[in-house]
């Protein structure tokens, strides 16, 4: 009964928050609702016995995305402060040309397709968990989620890293909009960032290490590391000019790069892409996860920063 009430409350709260976030005309309110939605979503994942996803949701959904959206909103406000009068007539015109219900058509098609797929699933399926459990011995780790992400289906993770990198390239190629004012951080924020940054780094290292046998891993550790970068950026800390060029780029591509090299080497040695021999699997996975953590952290912090770092030198 209690469990049922807990789940019902979570589900209703999620639906209500999602609806309010979508319908809110006030963007800041929508962002706060989205952050609250992420927190409840993580609790829902815990109730569904998926602590791995709960950890990812806590780190990315509730934590970093909120900060990213807030920074985007600040830039929007700064941009609209100049262009409000110029921008609005063009928007009015666009509204006349495209009826508002038009986006609903492809959306309905997607919903219909998804509905068909869900309905055509077999009512009961064991999935691949028995095979994963049977092969866990040879994967090099004892956490089945890490085994799947880094060993059995390593190429998925490789492509996810590339997606993150492409996202950053997209932001950089858009040539970021400079923030208007950046006041001095003040003693409280300064002290907070000095205290918290080592804790963030420690927690990131812990999550990376614990991923081998419990929920954790490169993405969670990387986003905690990225959060440390965001905190430092917010506290007014900037890279020295020499570090933003090649060294930063090397860190950004280290994760996907290491993955590609390992993939090629294993293909030459074992004949299959990313097929590790059981003896080396453990150390290879740790190596890949460590480089991925640094890359993900640097990428997320760079995404938060916005435009290419060297472009910002004059503004900060």
> Looking at 11, 15, 16, 175, which residue binds other proteins (CB under 8 A)?
16
**Of residues 297-316, those binding other proteins (CB under 8 A):** none
42, 60 Cβ separation under 8 angstroms: no
Among all chains, which residue has been given the structure tokens 């290419």? Answer: 308
- What does the CA dihedral 293, 299, 302, 306 come to, rounded to 10 degrees? -150
Does 59 bind other proteins (CB under 8 A)? Our answer is: yes
Give min distance, CB of 144 to other proteins, in A: 13
Does 251 bind other proteins (CB under 8 A)? Our answer is: no
Contacts 24+ apart (CB under 8 A), 202-208: 204/228, 204/293, 204/297, 207/55, 208/289, 208/290, 208/293
| Choices 32-40, 83-91, 93-101, 307-315 (CB under 8 A): range interacting with other proteins | 32-40
Cα distance between residue 65 and residue 60, in whole Å: 6
> Looking at 15, 48, 199, 265, which residue binds other proteins (CB under 8 A)?
199
x/- letters, 214..243, toward other proteins (CB under 8 A): xxx---x---x--x--xx--xx--------
Among all chains, which residue has been given the structure tokens 């074992």? Answer: 270
Closest CA to 130 of 144, 116, 113: 144
> Looking at 47, 205, 248, 311, which residue binds other proteins (CB under 8 A)?
47
Does 6 bind other proteins (CB under 8 A)? Our answer is: yes
| Token pair belonging to 48 | 């569904």
Strand residue runs (E) in the chain: none
Cα distance between residue 133 and residue 139, in whole Å: 10
| Choice between 17 and 263, CB closer to other proteins | 17
Contacts 24+ apart (CB under 8 A), 122-129: none
Does 187 bind other proteins (CB under 8 A)? Our answer is: no
Cα distance between residue 218 and residue 45, in whole Å: 19
> Looking at 26, 85, 100, 173, which residue binds other proteins (CB under 8 A)?
26
63, 39 Cβ separation under 8 angstroms: no
By rule CB under 8 A, what count of residues binds other proteins? 62
| Choice between 234 and 251, CB closer to other proteins | 234
Residue 176: which residues within 8 A CB-CB, separation 6 or more?
A: 75, 305, 306, 307, 308, 311, 312
| Choices 79-87, 131-139, 191-199, 281-289 (CB under 8 A): range interacting with other proteins | 191-199
> Looking at 66, 256, 306, 307, which residue binds other proteins (CB under 8 A)?
66
Does 189 bind other proteins (CB under 8 A)? Our answer is: yes
> Looking at 11, 15, 22, 28, which residue binds other proteins (CB under 8 A)?
28
Cα distance between residue 185 and residue 95, in whole Å: 42
> Looking at 141, 147, 148, 207, which residue binds other proteins (CB under 8 A)?
207
> Looking at 82, 154, 210, 240, which residue binds other proteins (CB under 8 A)?
210
265, 273 Cβ separation under 8 angstroms: no
Does 91 bind other proteins (CB under 8 A)? Our answer is: no
> Looking at 11, 15, 22, 29, which residue binds other proteins (CB under 8 A)?
29
Binding site for other proteins (CB under 8 A): 2-3, 5-6, 9-10, 13, 16-17, 20, 25-29, 31-33, 35-36, 39-40, 42-43, 46-47, 51, 54-55, 58-59, 62-64, 66-67, 70-71, 73-74, 179, 185, 189, 192-193, 196, 199-200, 203, 206-207, 210, 214-216, 220, 224, 227, 230-231, 234-235
């Amino acid at each position: 009964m209690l469990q049922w009430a807990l789940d019902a409350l979570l589900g209703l709260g999620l639906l209500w928050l999602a609806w309010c976030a979508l319908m809110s005309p006030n963007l800041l309110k929508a962002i706060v609702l989205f952050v609250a939605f992420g927190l409840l979503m993580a609790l829902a994942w815990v109730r569904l016995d998926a602590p791995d996803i709960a950890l990812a949701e806590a780190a990315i959904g509730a934590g970093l995305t909120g900060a990213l959206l807030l920074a985007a909103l600040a830039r929007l406000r700064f941009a609209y402060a100049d262009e409000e009068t110029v921008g609005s007539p063009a928007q009015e015109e666009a509204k006349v040309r495209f009826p508002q219900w038009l986006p609903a058509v492809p959306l309905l098609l997607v919903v219909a397709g998804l509905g068909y797929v869900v309905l055509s699933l077999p009512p009961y399926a064991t999935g691949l968990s028995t095979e994963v459990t049977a092969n866990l011995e040879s994967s090099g780790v004892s956490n089945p989620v890490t085994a799947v992400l880094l060993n059995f289906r390593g190429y998925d993770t490789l492509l996810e890293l590339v997606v993150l990198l492409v996202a950053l390239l997209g932001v950089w190629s858009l040539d970021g909009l400079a923030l208007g004012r950046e006041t001095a951080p003040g003693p409280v924020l300064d002290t907070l960032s000095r205290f918290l940054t080592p804790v963030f780094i420690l927690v990131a290292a812990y999550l990376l290490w614990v991923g081998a046998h419990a929920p954790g891993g490169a993405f969670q550790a990387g986003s905690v590391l990225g959060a440390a970068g965001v905190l430092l950026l917010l506290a007014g800390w900037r890279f020295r000019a020499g570090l933003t060029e090649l060294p930063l780029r090397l860190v950004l591509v280290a994760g996907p790069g290491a993955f590609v090299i390992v993939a090629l080497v294993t293909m030459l040695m074992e004949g299959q892409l990313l097929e590790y021999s059981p003896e080396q699997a453990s150390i290879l996975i740790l190596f890949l996860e460590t480089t991925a953590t640094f890359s993900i952290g640097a990428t997320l912090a760079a995404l938060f920063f916005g435009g290419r770092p060297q472009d910002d030198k004059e503004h900060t």
